[in-house]
């Protein structure tokens, strides 16, 4: 797992936490795969999940961060679709990652 990620102007610490849980939007106690803390500048990822779930969860939280910094209202369904979609595109197209990293250099 990476140690930190820069999203816009903010660098977030990425922290693995065993059995990540807390209150959801309705106040119910639930288990989370991940959570972004905007004011704490941290992203927590459940350490008990397999690596492929951790990677998808990290992207999910990154999408939350991007949209929040842009001042965009967003639903959890939108973030799920974008997070998993990005991970799948990156996995299916490694040449896209290389191209993107080299473009503009």
Between CA 13 and CA 28 the distance in angstroms is 26
Residue range 63-92: average pLDDT?
96
9-28 residue pLDDT tens: 999 999 999 999 999 888 99
Q: Work out whether strand 42-46 and strand 34-37 pair parallel, antiparallel, or are unpaired.
A: antiparallel
Q: Are 47 and 18 in contact (CB under 8 A)?
A: yes
Predicted model pTM: 0.91
pLDDT at 24: 85
Cβ atoms within 10 Å, residue 16: 15
How high is the pLDDT of residue 103? 84
Q: Has residue 70 got a pLDDT over 80? A: yes
Give me the pLDDT at residue 25, please. Answer: 82
Q: In what order do the strands lie in the sheet with 42-46?
A: 4-7, 10-17, 42-46, 34-37
Question: pLDDT digit string (tens) for 85-102?
Answer: 999 999 999 999 999 998
pLDDT digits (tens, 9 = 90+) for 34-64: 999 999 999 999 999 999 999 999 999 999 9
In this prediction, residue 6 carries a pLDDT of 98
Name 70's Cβ contacts closer than 8 Å, sequence gap at least 6.
none
| Of 5, 57, 3, 65, the residue nearest 32 (C-alpha) | 57
């Amino acid at each position: 797992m990476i140690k930190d990620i820069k999203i816009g102007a903010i660098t977030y610490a990425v922290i693995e936490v065993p059995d990540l849980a807390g209150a959801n939007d309705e106040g119910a106690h639930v288990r989370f795969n991940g959570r972004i803390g905007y004011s704490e500048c941290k992203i927590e990822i459940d350490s008990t999940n397999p690596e492929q779930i951790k990677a998808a969860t990290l992207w999910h939280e990154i999408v939350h961060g991007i949209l929040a910094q842009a001042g965009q209202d967003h639903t959890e369904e939108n973030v799920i679709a974008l997070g998993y979609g990005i991970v799948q595109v990156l996995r299916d197209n490694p040449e896209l990652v290389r191209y993107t990293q080299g473009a503009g250099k």
